[in-house]
Each structure stands twice: as C-alpha cells, then as structure tokens.
Amino acid sequence: MKAIVINEYGDRSQLKEIEFPTPMPKDNEVLIEIHATSINPIDWKLREGYLQEGVPLPFPIILGWDAAGIVKEVGSKVEKFAVGDRVFTRPPLTERGTYAEYIAVDEAVVASIPQNISFVEAAAVPLVGLTTWQSLVDFAEIKKGDQVLIHAGAGGVGNVAIQIAKAKGAKVIATGSAKNQDVIKQLGADHVIDYKTTKLTDVLSDVDIVFDTVGGEAQEESLDVLKPGGVLVSIVQPANEEKAKQKNIKTGVVFMQPDGEELAQIADLMKNGELKPLIGEILPFSEEDLRKAHEISESNHAKGKIVIEIKKDE
C-alpha cells in the first residue's frame, strides 16, 4: 500500500511517500480501506520531535490519527462490523497512523458513518470530536442552560465544540478574529468576541464552563470570568491552581482517548444535522500536499479542518 512516513524527526521535508506492507487485522481488528484522513497539530508536533520523550515511537512512523473508509476485512472475533461497512475512527497513538491506504484497528475504537455523511466530512471529526466530547461532556458535565466560553471558535476543535455545546442546550460564547466572526456565528455561537480588540473581563462574567484550546493569557483571563464553582477544561496546559482554588473552579487538562462508543454518539449528532464539521481545505494524497497541509496547520491560523482525500468516492 501507499503510505507517507517519516524516517527521522525534522521539518516537512521528512514526509516521504513509500510502499508499505498492508496490515493484517488481528482477531479483534477491522482492516479499513482509508478514503480520507485529516490533519491535527499532533501530526506535525510529533514529526518535529516535540513529543519523542512522552510518545517514543519506532521509525518509520506513519503519522495521522483520523480515518474514514470502508471495512475490507474483519478479524475472527469482530462482532460489530462487517466487510463493506462505512466507518470512521481515531486509532490509538502508534507508529501506524492514517497517512496510508489501509489501517487495522480494534473494533472498540471504530464507529459507523451515517449514510448522509461523506468520507471527507467523517474524516474531519474523530480526533476533534472526541477531544470536545471528553472535555465538555465527560469532564465539564455540560448541561442545558450552561453559559460556555469556547476559545478559537473557527479552529479545528473550536468549530466542533460550538456545535456539540449547542446540541447540549448551552449558550455559547466563542472567541475569534474579526475575519472569522461570521463563520463562528453560522456554526451556532450566540455571541462572538474578537480576542484581538476585546478583553474578556470587559464583556463577560459568571461563565459556567470555559473550553481552553489556546492557553496562555486567554486562559488566565478565563479564570477571571468564570463564576465560583465553574469549570475550566484545557487541551493545552494546566491552569493556575492557586487562582482557581480561590473561586472553587474545577480545572483539568484532557488527553483524548480513542472510544468507539463516544464516536457513535458524535455520529448521531452528524446524522441529525446538529454537527457539520467546518472544512477549510481538501487536498489530494501526495508527499507534496501533505507538506502543504502541515504548513497550513503549523501557522496556527487554519480555519476548520484540513482533510486529505486518499480515495475519491465513486
């Protein structure tokens, strides 16, 4: 099979196209023919070597941790899926990722794609969808009527977070630049704050939940606008515990775990039209285009998700 790998840590030039053995599914695994994958910041952070101590992987490494495609083979103990099923997954973090034509994964981390959702749309969701679900639903226990602040509302995680929060009945405030305000409103945000011109403390107070996707100064300000007993959940960095304790704010950093059952709940939102991923770019599957995709992601100003179409829908 065709795969794009790195043989050592470094810049985008390390992404190399090679022929790689097609994996064989184990008893509890399904072999997925990948039609689309997508780019996440972890891809290029791992490529650069930033995660090598925490996530030591043997070379060559196939990057990528989102996949949508068709089941081509099933292991002897697989019960939930059959050959021909349309599925998507966020596979575990190993050296065998999704910049490839096939991947074998445990059925426990796989979910069915609704018939009204394309492979490109499905590929944009698993990592960011599960990150949001585990942050807002599992950790923050979001409920109807909550006032929720989501940072970087037009980003890969932020755009999904707005929609999941709205589906749960929350009032959503999102931050974004002036050029993205219309997009953020179209996603369902009730109010948009231009982080370049407005201080949170000037316009907000008594927020129930903050979903921090950016860290730094924005996180510090977020603690000031949370109500006593509120929740700050981050996917970037731990919060100032001393400051949080003063207001009895629950804080935590969420590291997403692959989970097929939660992905199936996210799929239901997509089926019902409550979640439609914002896709900024769709690129073909080539060495050159993967490098371009990484460059866009590294800018930290990508709007929505960057999707790589590996096999065009016929």
- The per-residue pLDDT for range 100-137, each reduced to its tens digit, is 999 999 999 999 999 999 999 999 999 999 999 999 99
Please report, for the chain, how many H helices and E strands are present, in that order: 10, 16
Domain around 229 = 128-253
Start-end of H helices in the chain = 41-48, 119-123, 126-132, 156-167, 181-186, 200-203, 216-225, 241-246, 260-271, 287-298
Residues in CB range of 207: below 8 A, 6 or more apart? 147, 148, 149, 173, 222, 225, 226, 227, 230
* Separation CA 129–CA 275 (nearest Å): 10
Same-domain check for residues 243 and 137: yes
Q: What is the mean pLDDT of residues 40-57?
A: 95
Same-domain check for residues 205 and 281: no
Share of the chain above pLDDT 70, in %: 100
pLDDT exceeds 90 at position 313: no
Same-domain check for residues 80 and 159: no
Same-domain check for residues 243 and 134: yes
Q: What is the pTM of this model?
A: 0.96
What does the block give as tokens for 148?
């929720």
Same-domain check for residues 92 and 184: no
Q: Which residue has the tokens 């755009």?
A: 159
What is the domain count for the chain? 2
What does the block give as tokens for 220?
């510090």
**Parallel/antiparallel/unpaired status of strands 191-194 and 207-212:** unpaired
pLDDT in tens, 227-240: 999 999 999 999 99
Domain CATH for 59: 3.90.180.10
Within-domain flag for 262:
no
pLDDT exceeds 80 at position 301: no
Question: How far lies 10's CA from each of 5, 23, 45, 94, in Å?
Answer: 12, 26, 10, 18
Q: What is the mean pLDDT of residues 172-193?
A: 96
Within-domain flag for 163:
yes
